[in-house]
Each structure stands twice: as C-alpha cells, then as structure tokens.
Amino acid sequence: MARTVWGSTVGKKAVMAVSGLVMLLYLVVHMFGNLKIFFGPGTFDGYAHWLRTLGEPFLHYEWALWIIRVGLVAAVVAHGVCAYQLSRRDLRSRPVGYVRPRARSSYATRTMRWGGVILALFIVWHILDLTTGTVQRGFVPGHPYHNVVAAFHDWWNNVFYIAAVLALGLHVRHGFWSAAQTLGAGSPTRDRVLKGTANVLALVLTAGFVAVPVGVMTGLVS
Ligand code: HEM
C-alpha cells in the first residue's frame, strides 16, 4: 500500500498535499506566537518557556517541542523529496524538450520550484539565526525577545527575512489551492471559496510574519 502511494504520481502529490498542510498548520501557530512580541519581553519569553514545558509533568522538559520538531522534519523531507521526484519525472517525460525552454513548465510550477528552494535555504538560516544562534553575535539562549531584536538590527537580515516571507505567501497561495485539488476538495461550486481561502491565508501569514521585522525596524519593538 505505502509502496503504491509512494511510487505513483498521484500518491506523491497526495504526500505533498498532506505534508504541506501539516507545515501550514505549524506556520499559522508560529505566526500568531510571534505576534506576542508586541506584548513585551515578559510575554514573549514566557511563551517560549511554556513551549518547552508543554505537557509536563506527563512529558519531560522540551519533549513536546522535540515531538513537534520530528513531525516537522518528516513533513519537510517528504515534501522536498516528492517535489524533486515529481519535477524529475516531469522533465523525463519530455526527453526531446521544447523549442523554447521556458515553455516547458508553467509560470506557477517554476515559481513553486524556486520558492521551495528559497524557503528551504531560509529555514536553515533561520534556525542557525534564532534557534541555535550559530550565526548571530550576541545570541542569548532562553531570551528569544532579545535575540529577535538583535537579529533584525542588521538591515540585510531584514531584507532576507522579508523576501523569504513574500516567497512563502506566494508558495502558500498556490500550494493550498493545489493541495485542495489533489485531495479532491475542488468542485465548480467550491473553487471560489477555496481560492478565497488560499488568498486570505497567504495574506494573513505574510502580514503577520512581516510585522515582526517591521516592528523592530520602526522601533516599536526594541
Ligand atoms: C519573519 C518572522 C519570523 C520570526 C520573527 C521568527 C521567529 C522565530 C524564533 C524567535 C524562533 C526560536 C523560537 C524558540 O527558540 O523558542 C523560531 C524558530 C523557528 N521558526 Fe521562525 N520566525 C519567523 C518566520 C518563520 C518562517 C517564515 C518559517 C518557515 C518558513 C519559520 C520556521 C521556524 C522553524 C522551523 C523554527 C524552529 C523551531 C524549533 O525547532 O524550535 N519561521 N522562529
């Protein structure tokens, strides 16, 4: 059964849709969590601490966070591997190629591929920047408020984050729509609602994530 799903084009698209929706759920929660920064260091750092003590005393310190991390890594890997294999299949099925290479894939497909690559690179940078602090001078473990303010003091980091978040908005807009079609939710009557939902989701996520670097740049968060 698992082999059939993994081996077929439809199966890979279904894996992409489900893993994409898992990541989307994480992003909505992460975005709302980030907005707590506007309530001050006590609230924001307290929220980060709560994330680590979630499920205690049944779970030990950081166990819930690690369970979430394992689920997320599984979703990212499944999504990336299927995307790569589907695009290889797409290219292999047209061995002769087109006269105009750009006509080979649609605008949306190319945007999704490049958007996916940018987001993968962003996630690696973002974890080294704000989770491990490897690339950030002055990183203080356990003080995410201070670390976020420090991270957005460098203008180029703001540019990179904002560009990545815009790429995320476009990716979610098209990805949510594609996932709905793959999972069979599309129909002539529902398509307008699905498109509207995709637009609202993309807009809310983009605005919510961009608000933090903009908040630091304007001095609202300091
Ligand atoms: C632009 C605004 C963003 C801000 C201010 C922000 C802030 C943060 C902070 C402070 C952490 C560390 C949390 C902690 O250690 O308690 C974190 C972790 C993380 N963020 Fe973001 N984030 C942003 C956007 C994003 C985006 C767009 C993505 C995904 C595409 C993302 C994915 C992650 C992931 C995967 C982690 C690691 C979670 C973990 O394992 O602890 N973030 N973020």
Cβ < 6 A, ligand 1 pocket: 27, 30, 34, 48, 51, 69, 119, 123, 126-127, 130-131, 144, 148, 161, 165, 168, 209, 212-213
CA distance 199 to 177: 9
pLDDT computed for residue 67 by the predictor: 98
Out of 23-32, 103-112, 211-220, least confident range: 103-112
Determine how many CB atoms are found less than 10 A away from the CB of residue 1. 6
Residue 193 has pLDDT above 70, yes or no: yes
Give the model confidence (pLDDT) of 119-172 as tens digits: 999 999 999 999 999 999 889 999 999 999 999 999 999 999 999 999 999 999
Determine how many CB atoms are found less than 10 A away from the CB of residue 218. 9
pLDDT computed for residue 100 by the predictor: 58
**Residue 90's pLDDT band (cuts 50, 70, 90):** confident
Q: Which residue has the tokens 């695009």?
A: 87
Task: Give helix then strand counts, H and E, for the chain.
Answer: 8, 0
Give 187 or 166, the one with higher predicted confidence: 166
Prior bond of 144 cis (ω within 30°): no
Looking at the domain that runs over 2-93+106-218, which CATH code has it been given?
Answer: 1.20.1300.10
Residue 110 has pLDDT above 90, yes or no: no
Radius of gyration of the chain (CA): 20
Determine how many CB atoms are found less than 10 A away from the CB of residue 207. 13
Mean pLDDT, residues 209-222 taken together: 97
Q: Which of 38, 54, 62, 126 for mutating ligand 1's site (highest number of atoms within 8 Å of CB)?
A: 126
CB 216 within 8 A of CB 210: no
Residue 6 has pLDDT above 90, yes or no: no
pLDDT computed for residue 20 by the predictor: 98
With a pLDDT cut of 90, the percent of the chain lying above it is: 82
pLDDT computed for residue 94 by the predictor: 66
Where does residue 61 fall: left (phi above 0), alpha (psi -120 to 50 degrees), or beta otherwise?
Answer: beta
217 CB contacts (<8 Å, ≥6 apart)?
Answer: 152, 158
pLDDT computed for residue 104 by the predictor: 61
**Residue 117's pLDDT band (cuts 50, 70, 90):** very high
* CA of residue 126 to ligand 1 center, whole Å: 7
pLDDT computed for residue 95 by the predictor: 58
Distances (CA, A) of 18 to 24, 55, 78, 79, 185: 10, 26, 10, 9, 13
DSSP 8-state assignment for residue 62: T
CA distance 115 to 111: 6
Domain ranges of the chain: 2-93+106-218
pTM value is: 0.93
pLDDT computed for residue 138 by the predictor: 86
Give the residue whose CA is nearest to atom 35 of ligand 1. Answer: 123
Residue 111 has pLDDT above 60, yes or no: yes
